Every structure is written in C-alpha cells, then in structure tokens.
Amino acid sequence: MSAKGNGSDDDLPVPAPLSPATVDAPSGEGDVPAEATGMAEVAPGDDVESLRRECAELRDALLRRRADFENYRRRVERDRGAAQAEAEAGILRHLLSTVDNLERALAASGTDSGLREGVALTLRELLALLDSLGVTPVDPRGQRFDPALHQAILHEPAAGFEAGTVAEVFRKGYTYKGRLLRPAMVKVASGEPEERGDGDGGVQ
C-alpha cells in the first residue's frame, strides 16, 4: 500500500533555495529619494563659504548694534549735561538780579559811606563767586549790535557812535561757560541826524 495521501511530511512541496543575488538585493520598499527630502548633498567648499557669509553678516550686525549703543550713550550724556547746565543757569540768573540791585545801590547818591563800603564789599565777593563759577559780564558799549547777544531798548542817533553800534548799556549782559546767560539791554545808535539847509541851498 502506498504512503501517498496519508499526510506524511514527505509529500509537502519544498521551496526553491534563494540565490545570493536574491538575498542581497534591496527590496526597494521604504526608500525615499534624496531629492524628495530637500536635503541634497552640499559640497564641503560650498558649506564653508556659507558659514563665512553668515559670520560676516553677524559681525556687521554686531558693529551696527555697537554703533547704535554708542550714539545713544552720547545722546544721553549730552542731554543730561544740557539739563544740568540749564538748572545751574536758572539759579545764576537769580543771583544776577542781586548784582543789579547792589550796583544800583552804589550808583545812588547820598548813601552813607559805611553802608556803601559794605555794599561794595558784598558786590565784589558776589562777582568773585560768579567768576569762579564761569559767569562773565558782557559790556558791549561801542561794539556792533548783535541781536543774538544784545537786547535793543532804544534806537536813536548818538553823537560819536556809528550807526548800528551800541551807544549805551542799561543793563550788562552775562555769559555762563561760553553760553549766553542774559542779554545786555542797550541803546543802538542810528547815525547822526541829517543837517537841514535854509531852503535855497546856499548863502546869499
């Protein structure tokens, strides 16, 4: 009796052996082309050049930020100095009013000699203090009128003065560290008045 059909393992088909080429060859499933990922190969030289450009851009940005900071620092210091100078000038202007009063007291007649001496001493000490602080008096008599430095109160002919010059100073001006602290109040000469003839232009 034959063993065929009795379910023996000898009747099962035997698969063909795999060749080396079949084992080593990739199946191709799951592989993604490099172009699809957007990561194309970069040559070493191109990569170095890109880094150099990036470093140069970062260096330029750093230099710009440093320059901006230096400009900001200078501006803050300048504004701070200007604010301090203006505050000092405000105090000094009040002292100038005291100087004016002391000078008027000395110019007044009939003042007691002892009182005059005391006023003169106070004025000298105050002027010395102002000078040590950088305050300088401005007496422009005989100088050309400058609207940036002088305040014209009168404008009329003045003998001995050319037109446009300061003929009289009513109140002295002052500068503070080279800046105008108070303008001088002055009279500006307008020139000699024209002489009038007797109507016929000559002597008969």
Distance between first and last Cα of the chain:
186
Query: 111-153, pLDDT tens digit by residue?
Result: 677 788 888 899 999 999 999 988 999 889 989 999 888 999 9
Q: Which residues contact 171 (CB under 8 A, 6 or more apart)?
A: 100, 184, 185
pLDDT category of residue 178 using cuts at 50, 70 and 90? confident
Amino acid in the structure at residue 186: V
35: left (phi > 0), else alpha (psi -120 to 50), else beta?
Answer: alpha
pTM check: above 0.85 = no
| φ and ψ of 95, to 5 deg | -65, -30
Q: Which fold has domain 135-193?
A: Nucleotide Exchange Factor Grpe; Chain A, domain 2 (2.30.22)
Domain boundaries, the chain: 42-133, 135-193
Q: Residue 180's closest CA among 45, 53, 86, 106?
A: 86
42-133 matches 135-193 in fold:
no
Q: Which residues contact 100 (CB under 8 A, 6 or more apart)?
A: 171
Does the domain made of 42-133 have the CATH classification 3.90.20.20?
Answer: yes
The strand pairing partners of 175, in sequence order, are 136, 180
Query: 58-105, pLDDT tens digit by residue?
Result: 998 999 999 998 898 888 888 887 788 788 888 898 899 899 988 888
Of 12-26, 78-92, 108-122, 162-176, which has the strongest mean pLDDT? 162-176
